[in-house]
Amino acid sequence: MYEMHFAVPMAAAVLNTINTRLDAKAVAAILRHSQAKVLFVDYEYVRLANGALQIVADAGAPVPPVAVIDDIDRPTGVRLGVGELEYEALVSDGDPAAELPSLADEWDAVTLNYTSGTTSAPKGVVYSHRGAYLNTTSQLLSWGVGTEPVYLWTLPMFHCNGWTLTWGMAARGGVNVCIRENRAADVYRAISDHGVTHMCCAPVVLNILLDGIGEARRLAAPVHVLTGGAPPTAALLDRVERVGFKVTHGYGLTEATGPALACEWRHEWDLLPLPERSRLKARQGVSVLSLADTNVVDNNTMASVPRDGKSVGEIVLRGSSIMKGYLDNPEENDKAFKGGWFMTGDVGVMHPDGYIEVKDRSKDVIISGGENICSKEVEEVLLQHQAVADAAVVAMAHPHWGETPCAFLVASNRAAGVCEDEVIAFCRERMARFMSPRKVVVVDALPRNALGKVDKVKLRDAVRSLVLPKATSRL
């Protein structure tokens, strides 16, 4: 996938990396919507790809040629079928003297990143060469990445092209260290074997790293960690910094080509006590350089809220590194922008020092293990179950994943009821495991506000008193 970040744009094509945690149905929807011209598949995901391609074929849609990327050191020989391509052979067959097409316009598309893929109109976020370049240099600057970093890929490259650090590592002459899974033992081994200096991850991964070690463990040299998706808690910061991780907190979203804000640290804060430092570090920060502007506004008038750390408004972003738009999705594009600003849907405050802090996330997003889950998508699947008349999904705290979906259901037939385990199993068949609710609550009716909309604030309040089923509270 790393090589693809260079090879595909050099061929004047658009790279669409696919989240490996999605199920075959979601992958099929992406392949169809993106009109993929060729599919490169890591040997570990051949089965998933096969399932997805079958769905594409069954729908009568064009099936792209497939190139399997085998393990170079220990080839598995796995192939999709007769006549398929093998990656290394394909590369060997390439013409080293081939003339590369030059880029006509730096605003041309470079990559495509889907924020979801199961609904009928997937949201494919299109980045430009310009936006990718500017965001890459901004990330390097705001995170202070010097030359020759040794970067550990704990953050998947399919998330905003690895927060643009795929290109960033090349720009800084970095070493890329790849591991298949973020198991604590694998991460610590990679750090010590390769002298890792930098890594990115959601706070959930930091939790995993702390679970895997005794309190006495200390890294031989500091490892800089850029974390986002959820603010790191004071307790987490305290523990990981004792181990030797130097945490920088960022905020972003796929539509902003990854991190859009970084909580740039001020030297004077080093002298503050930990709770105060954690409070400051939990703020999402100031805009990275590639953004012309960031603001917190009243989303009706678009006027700035006072810089008092109290007045809430919607966080809005603009600049070259904001996506070109959603692919073939005029309706969502209309909703996403207002007066030249990208509307994040996140609610926040502006502090007097210009740092932004998120106060409430977009209502429809649940972040589980660093992955965004659109509650609407989960609701749509639940409503396909014949015993379900009405459904609403909100985030529930999870000790490992940060959050997990919790479903509130109304039974079609009150007397017959709804079997909770059966609904969970139904969801798992129809969507990626991380997206499926781990908790289901049957209610007589969903709370609704004056406009008839489901009152998710009330549901989120109700979730706080619920307990996760034992079997699902583990990883």
Pick 198 or 430: Cβ nearer a second copy: 198
What is the number of other CB atoms lying within 10 angstroms of the CB of residue 376?
Answer: 14
| Contact present, 413 and 379 (Cβ < 8 Å) | no
Closer by beta carbon to a second copy, 288 or else 382: 288
CA angle 283, 285, 286 (to 5 degrees): 165
Min CB(89)–a second copy separation in Å: 30
Interatomic CA distance for residues 301 and 319, integer angstroms = 20
C-alpha span between 52 and 158 (Å, rounded): 18
| Cβ at position 31, least distance to a second copy in Å | 34
**Smallest distance from a second copy to CB 302, Å:** 17
CA distance 341 to 268: 33
CB of 190 to a second copy, least distance (A): 19
State in angstroms the smallest separation of the CB of 423 from a second copy: 50
Please say whether the beta carbons of 405 and 376 come within 8 A. Answer: no
| Cβ-proximal residues to 439 (8 Å cutoff; 6+ apart), any chain | 396, 404, 405, 406, 407, 466, 468, 469, 472
- Shortest reach from residue 146's CB to a second copy, in Å: 5
Angle between helices 375-382 and 420-430 (to 10 degrees): 110
CB nearer to a second copy: give 78 or 289. 289
Three-class SS state of 301: coil
Integer angstrom CA distances of residue 162 from 151, 169, 251: 11, 10, 14
Report the interface residues with a second copy, using CB under 8 A.
Answer: 137-138, 140-141, 144, 146-148, 171-173, 264-267, 289
Comparing CB distances to a second copy, the nearer of 25 and 324 is 324
Nearer to a second copy, 137 or 154 (CB): 137
Q: Which is nearer to a second copy, 171 or 411 (CB)?
A: 171
Q: Which is nearer to a second copy, 16 or 287 (CB)?
A: 287
Q: Which is nearer to a second copy, 5 or 456 (CB)?
A: 5
Q: Is 45 or 265 the residue whose CB approaches a second copy more closely?
A: 265
| Closest separation in Å from C-beta 284 to a second copy | 16
> In the bound complex, what is the minimum distance in angstroms from residue 269's beta carbon to a second copy?
11
Cβ atoms of 193 and 166 closer than 8 Å: no
Asked whether the CA dihedral 376, 380, 382, 387 is positive or negative, the reply is: positive
Contact 296, 315 (CB under 8 A): yes
What is residue 13's three-state secondary structure?
A: coil
Closest distance of CB 475 from a second copy, Å = 36
For the chain, the residue count is: 475
How many angstroms separate the CA atoms of 359 and 348, rounded? 5
